Amino acid sequence: MSAACLSLRGVAKRFGSLAVLEDVTFEVGSGERRGILGPNGAGKTTLFNIIAGEMRCSRGSVEVLGRDVTGMRAHQRARLGVARTFQTTTLFPKLSVADNVVLALQAASRERFQCFVPKTRYAARYDEAMALLERVGLRARANAPVDALGYGEKRQVEILLALAQKPKLLLLDEPTAGLAPGDTALVTEMLKREERTTTMVLIEHDMSVMFDVVDRLTVLHHGRVVADGTLDEVRADRNVQDVYLGGTL
């Protein structure tokens, strides 16, 4: 792996007296697919919120593509190439599927400040949205409000929006949560098809998806990193066996 895409050093997060993350340090190389594993309450989503900039860490630093982003706000990090999906679907329910994707596509363009020309005049933008929707077979639903989509379709749009941002670092928070097996396979395919120019960090409880997509795993438990390595290394790790098989740490 080449230079680190994401680098966390001594990241800690406390809510009052509750320490959710403590001294989390790890690096994710460019183009890598990294899985974050850990039981409920291990601090996985909090870690994503800190990487994406929705929350500030209490201690430590976050670097993305060699830049210290610890003090940056969420939208600034997004401009640098950080995209994320949410555990609970976070779309624009009243807007059409196409408009949802266009919002993601135009986020980095100048036209987002254009207030006199109808949005439909930007045909290239809508063509691009259609092409993306085509990829997941939702082209026919482009004009429907997102509200009208099924759960599985919404999850696909959830990921599509993040992909439309053409991210360098993509954070995926349980992309297949609650999906039927068929939809899970679709989402897995979507992720595997992404080129290696995108670095991915994945939180996932479905181990078959995890092992199918990621190269390396980082295991969190009670807010600490207890293991970090290739799939085989982690599988063989005593600490991990203790965490998942009920041993004491």
Binding stretches for other proteins (CB under 8 A)? 52, 54, 73-75, 78-79, 83-84, 86, 90-95, 99, 102-104, 106-108, 111-120, 122, 161-162, 165
- Given the DSSP bridges, would you call strands 216-221 and 33-37 parallel, antiparallel or unpaired? parallel
Shortest Cβ 156–other proteins spacing (Å): 15
Shortest Cβ 53–other proteins spacing (Å): 8
Which CB atom, from 138 or from 227, has the smaller least distance to other proteins?
A: 138
Which CB atom, from 79 or from 238, has the smaller least distance to other proteins?
A: 79
Which CB atom, from 114 or from 230, has the smaller least distance to other proteins?
A: 114
Shortest Cβ 116–other proteins spacing (Å): 5
Tell me the sheet residues that pair with 240. Answer: none
Q: How far is CA 55 from CA 45, 108, 125, 166, 208, in A?
A: 11, 22, 31, 23, 30
Q: Do 163 and 195 meet the contact criterion of CB atoms below 8 Å apart?
A: no
* Dihedrals phi, psi of 14, to nearest 5 degrees: -120, 135
Shortest Cβ 130–other proteins spacing (Å): 16
Which CB atom, from 84 or from 216, has the smaller least distance to other proteins?
A: 84
Which CB atom, from 114 or from 208, has the smaller least distance to other proteins?
A: 114
CB atoms under 10 Å from CB of 15, counted, come to 10
> Among positive and negative, which fits the CA dihedral 147, 150, 155, 157?
negative
Shortest Cβ 234–other proteins spacing (Å): 29
Shortest Cβ 76–other proteins spacing (Å): 8
Q: Which of helix, strand or coil describes residue 153?
A: helix
Which CB atom, from 73 or from 235, has the smaller least distance to other proteins?
A: 73
**Sequential DSSP letters for 178-234:** T--HHHHHHHHHHHHHS-TTSEEEEE-S-HHHHHHH-SEEEEEETTEEEEEEEHHHH
Shortest Cβ 144–other proteins spacing (Å): 15
DSSP code for 145: B
The DSSP H or E segment spanning 12 is strand 4-15
Which CB atom, from 116 or from 193, has the smaller least distance to other proteins?
A: 116
d(C-alpha 5, C-alpha 96), whole Å: 34
